[in-house]
Structure 1
């Protein structure tokens, strides 16, 4: 019998809401989490706004021991642990304190981890104070530090690893965990991704001049996916986490189920035929979407909602065109489309996982969430999709199947298909 994979727990640490309740409310109501960052102004950034989770309002002792907090200077680790432990608890699971849980594993990705800690270490080494680095500098700066933290905190004894594929990282991690359960190598997988915050992460993008420079006085209006006046993505940070589980295991323990992951696809455009380090190969994007649909055992006509990558750059119209080609749908026949980046910016390696949590909340809340800042829909998009399919405010329409895609630097793609759960 084929293994069905369901989502039994979720956690999120996002710029516009930490925890499922706050995050869901923000998505429903269109509440922005993008704010002016004085530090960026002091450092002469052109774009002085960003999406950054407000973890200062939380007691980190609820997530870390005093020993773990000593010398902790890696925002991605903080975001990832908060989201991951919340997801585990939300799934009704507890940390295994005696022996490893051989049936539970972790795939938790990141783009860069502990960049502030790494900077701190560089200064100490250059000053000849290598002995003052502390015992946690390595684990805070190695990419797999986030999965190592979570693996030890939860006692997971199955595969515990980290992936990294730029903006595709989060969605890729989810599909990697899915494959592990489908192949019967694990019963449960905590999957997700995180991204550090701060100038040392965002500076390169500011230097590339692909961030909006004219909204420093009006941050909430800056991130404009699918808009005619979009002028670059707003950098963000945070973490999203999901507990994937075989439906047999979930039913056996009476777990609640947010939705079913039907399948997905991961590929690359090879940086050929229009694909580059920073731009997608359209043929590869179309292939990724079509393969995800085929692997999920559905037809394109069954997709109710697309949660796109849609970063508020000049590539948004091309993404919509690629979706139309892949699905063979256009106009009023097109699925509803939303991009959460209008609300909290582009959270880089954390984007896919945070947005997957948001996508699944649409099942739970029985709504299609609206889009912020695209009241002036791009004319090239209007040629493909009827404006009614890109709602400005949340709609009381309960979706049944949602397609979520992420496309990243390096011409890499991932698409996951989620379904409202039916026994």
Structure 2
């Protein structure tokens, strides 16, 4: 017997808001978190805009001691811990005291963690100052650093791990947690992902010329998913987190339930059939969506909203075609589709988890957030779907089923099917 899985806690650190209530308000209002970054201009980046969460020292002190704040160079760990702790509190869960909580685990993914700490370590080692590196270099730079921090803060005694699959990391983390609960290996899992910010993370993308440079004076216009004038993705950072729990466990403790996870799928295109390190195999994308529907026992006609990956690159029309082919729906029959990246940019390894939090809020609170900067729909998109399928303003509507997917470097894909919970 497979357990039903529900979401009982949410946490988010995004470029346009920190904390779930503020984030929900921001995405409904179409509030952009993309701003001009002077340090990128000083370093002669072509793209000088980005999305960095508004984390204050006061917010940090709610989660870290003064010593920890002094030692922490990794913004990813800060973001991940804040989002994870908010999700835990949001789920009304206690913190383990004497013994570990054997029923609860953590899977928290990332891409590159602690690059600034690496830079500091390289300089000190090259200068012969290895003994002055400090005691936190390893924990700030290991991939499982956020899981380790959260595991110690919460006392989780089940599986504690991290995953890394480029832009698909966050959605994949949720599916790893889902599978562990479905099979009875855990009652609860704290799942999410995070990404650092800054020139050492974003420089490679600027060098690849996949970031926009025309909007340095109008940063809120820079991220333009599905637009004819899209010219690249805007880099962002942050973290998203969710508590996934068996329905039986959630009901036993009268936990808040925000949505149900029906299933999902992860796969790879193998960098064959048109797929490459930076481009998805179209057949693999369609197969991922279709297998997710199959595992979730959902028919294509039941999908109300697609929360797309949609990065504001030349691949957006290909993604829309992939959804249309996978669902067998186009024109007026195509679901409503949006992209959170229009407000917060592409948060890299944190993208999937932040966007999944947004999707859950759409289900729980009954709205569809707008997809900004798409007043000029790309011709390749307009030939597939009706113009009214891309919301320009918030739509207040009782949404039942959302398909959320992310597709990442390395030709990797993840798709999850979320449903409004009905007692």
Would you say 1:349 and 2:349 are equivalent positions? yes
- Is 1:300 paired with 2:300? yes
Query: Take 1:195 and 1:335, find their aligned partners in 2: how far apart are those partners?
Result: 30
Deviation per CA, 1:56-107: give whole Å up to 9, x if none: 2633121123443341110000000000000000000122121100000000
1:137 aligns with 2:121: no
Give the TM-score taking structure 1 as reference length.
0.99
Q: 1:330 — aligned with what?
A: 330
Question: Per the alignment, in what secondary structure is the counterpart of residue 13 of structure 1?
Answer: strand
SS of alignment partner, residue 418 of structure 2: strand
Gapped regions of structure 1 (runs ≥ 5): none
| 1:86 counterpart = 2:75 | no
Residue correspondences, number: 423
Instruction: After TM superposition, list the pairs within 5 Å mapping 1:37-76 onto structure 2.
Output: 37-56=37-56, 58-76=58-76
Partner of 1:223: 223
2:112 matched to which residue of 1?
112
Stretch of structure 1 that moved more, 88-97 or 269-278: 88-97
Note if 1:358 corresponds to 2:355: no
| 3-state DSSP of counterpart to 2:89 | helix
Residue 320 of structure 1 aligns to a residue in which SS? helix
Query: Aligned equivalents of 2:231 and 2:59: distance in 1?
Result: 37
Q: Answer yes or no: is 1:314 the counterpart of 2:328.
A: no
SS in 2 for 1:170: helix
Q: Say if 1:292 and 1:416, in contact at 8 Å, map to a contact too.
A: yes
Residue by residue over 1:114-148, the C-alpha shift from the partner in whole angstroms, topping out at 9 and shown as x without a partner, is: 00011011111111111110001110011111110
Task: Measure, in 2, the Cα distance between the counterparts of 1:94 and 1:220.
Answer: 40
CA RMSD, Structure 1 to Structure 2 (Å): 0.8
**Which piece of structure 1 moves more, 100-109 or 1-10?**
1-10
> Within 2, Cα distance between the matches of 1:417 and 1:278?
25
Mapped pair 1:197 → 2:231: no
**Which 5+ residue runs of structure 2 have no aligned equivalent?**
none
Q: Deviations over 1:317-350 (max 9, x none)?
A: 0000000000000011111101000001000000
Q: How does 1:15-414 map to 2 (within 5 A)?
A: 15-56=15-56, 58-414=58-414
Please say if residues 2 and 183 of structure 2, whose CA atoms lie closer than 8 Å, have aligned partners that are also in contact: no
Give deviations 1:262-321, integer Å, cap 9, x for gaps. 000000000000000000000000000000000001100000000000000000000000
Q: Using the alignment, how far apart are the partners of 1:240 and 1:144 within structure 2?
A: 16
- SS of the aligned residue for 1:334 comes to coil
1:209 offset after TM fit, Å?
Answer: 0.4
- TM (norm. structure 2) is 0.99
Deviation at 1:174, TM superposition (A): 0.3
Question: Per-residue deviation at 1:54?
Answer: 1.0
The 4+ residue runs of structure 1 with deviation greater than 4 A are none
Q: Deviations over 1:194-242 (max 9, x none)?
A: 0000000000000000000010000000000000000000000000000
Cα distance in 2 between the residues matched to 1:234 and 1:82: 23
Query: Distance between the aligned counterparts of 2:59 and 2:176, measured in 1?
Result: 32
- Distance, in Å, in 2 between the alignment partners of 1:58 and 1:5 is 35
C-alpha separation in 1, matches of 2:92 and 2:210: 42
The 1-side partners of 2:421 and 2:224 are apart by 32
Query: Which one is further off, 389-398 or 187-196?
Result: 389-398
Cα distance, 1:364 vs structure 2:
2.1
Q: Deviations over 1:165-190 (max 9, x none)?
A: 00000000000000000010000000
